[in-house]
Structure 1
């Protein structure tokens, strides 16, 4: 007799589960929320970011010293103890720079209360981008200057820093729009001055982050994915180290 009642209760529990729980699971699957949550949990793991290696050694930001938008001398030493993003740009750029700057403004906004975060932007047309011009650029894009230095100075030193120091391409090319060519990449630097990035599916550092695709667009015309969202996530990881 007791067994009979046990079977009845088990059957009722299974029936209630099927009525209440299964439709909710189906709804989450159809909306993609299960997949999305799995993705977010994967991306928010505590896995440390990789180091960029050169000849088997961790690559560090080389020494630099330039003046910023306020004519203040800024060096790599001013960024020690901070997590920061590096890019190369020019204010008259007609193509990717406006997108890159827009993305960096969003990154700055996200970390506006973090005293250990900064941005370092180097002009590849320093002969034109004077501190006065840089201040106008800041006003145009509503940049907050307290943790973001837009720097100008010796042209050869800036190109050396871009091409040899960071291995981020920059060159004078009269035949392209704007007369200069550069990659739309962002470098991520940790508090000790080392270049860092997340790793790909094979365990290799991605090295740089795409900066010329708006985060809200998702992809560009070539199907390349934006990487501002993962850049933000990786900045958070470095801030917590």
Structure 2
């Protein structure tokens, strides 16, 4: 009798496994094909916990314990092409907010960015994302003329325009880089002269400050040649170049 019960048990188990395979395995395969289940081999939200061996010493900007990542965006560049954050995947890039009629800091910022562009001209995985804060004036045609004027040649350097509210939200919330309208200042707009540095996985990165915290941004106005401006601000372009090189090796 014991032998017969054992056989019944095997038959029952086999039947259950057969039913499971018929019902659930096709569903699992469909989820894998649909991208719901993936193998996580890249730096993810756990990247700050040392999940990879080739990370540099650059820090991640963390919000509520999570590494801050570039939010989704979609704008039109100087060529009239639609550009999204996905176009920068697997690239190290610098972010700025500017406008073409800016009479003060923008020309200095973009001359510094062109110098950085030329330093990394041999790297296909380096780029720049420039967002205009005066999209009503800065059409793709205006942006293209601006790019030609400043010698912007990197194919991964997109000067983008689009909905003003979306651009301001991206600046002030997405990157925490101030941008706004102010009729009382030269040019009618005001914005930070800082650059943000993004790694190949879309995370904001920077080096430590004197207290061991992320610097978050890099000053973009003072050039390497100047070293220091009339207000006593020291240049950080050389620092930015060093950190771009580190991220390109990750």
Q: TM-score, with normalisation over the residues of structure 1?
A: 0.80
- Please list, as runs of the form range in 1=range in 2, the aligned pairs for 1:41-60 lying within 5 A after superposition: 48-60=57-69
| Alpha-carbon distance between aligned partners in 2 of 1:68 and 1:116, rounded to the nearest angstrom | 18
Are residue 108 (structure 1) and residue 117 (structure 2) matched? yes
**Which residue, out of 165, 173, 191, partners 2:182?**
173
Structure 2: gaps (5+ residues): 1-54
Whether the 8 Å CA contact 1:90–1:124 is kept in 2: the answer is yes
| Alpha-carbon distance between aligned partners in 1 of 2:193 and 2:204, rounded to the nearest angstrom | 17
- Please list, as runs of the form range in 1=range in 2, the aligned pairs for 1:5-24 lying within 5 A after superposition: none
- Please list, as runs of the form range in 1=range in 2, the aligned pairs for 1:73-88 lying within 5 A after superposition: 73-88=82-97
Partner of 1:11: none
- Please list, as runs of the form range in 1=range in 2, the aligned pairs for 1:180-195 lying within 5 A after superposition: 180-195=189-204
For the aligned residue pairs, the C-alpha RMSD in angstroms reads: 1.0
Shift of 1:201: 2.3
Whether the 8 Å CA contact 2:56–2:247 is kept in 1: the answer is no
Q: Which stretches of structure 1, 4 residues or longer, exceed 4 Å deviation after superposition?
A: none
| Alpha-carbon distance between aligned partners in 1 of 2:56 and 2:118, rounded to the nearest angstrom | 25
Whether the 8 Å CA contact 1:198–1:234 is kept in 2: the answer is yes
| Alpha-carbon distance between aligned partners in 1 of 2:108 and 2:231, rounded to the nearest angstrom | 16
Whether the 8 Å CA contact 1:173–1:180 is kept in 2: the answer is yes
Partner of 2:162: 153
**Which residue, out of 216, 219, 228, partners 1:210?**
219
The alignment covers a number of residue pairs equal to 196
Q: TM-score, with normalisation over the residues of structure 2?
A: 0.77
Partner of 2:106: 97
Structure 1: gaps (5+ residues): 1-45
Partner of 2:77: 68
Q: Which secondary structure does the structure 2 equivalent of 1:127 belong to?
A: coil
Shift of 1:48: 1.2
Deviations 1:41-71 (A, max 9, x none): xxxxx95100001111100000000000000
Whether the 8 Å CA contact 1:138–1:145 is kept in 2: the answer is no
Q: Which secondary structure does the structure 2 equivalent of 1:236 belong to?
A: helix
Deviations 1:205-229 (A, max 9, x none): 1000000111210011121110000
| Alpha-carbon distance between aligned partners in 2 of 1:115 and 1:222, rounded to the nearest angstrom | 36
Q: 1:92 to 1:129 in 2, by over 3 A?
A: same
Shift of 1:123: 0.3
Higher helix share: 1
Deviations 1:116-166 (A, max 9, x none): 100000000001000100011011111104120000001100000000100
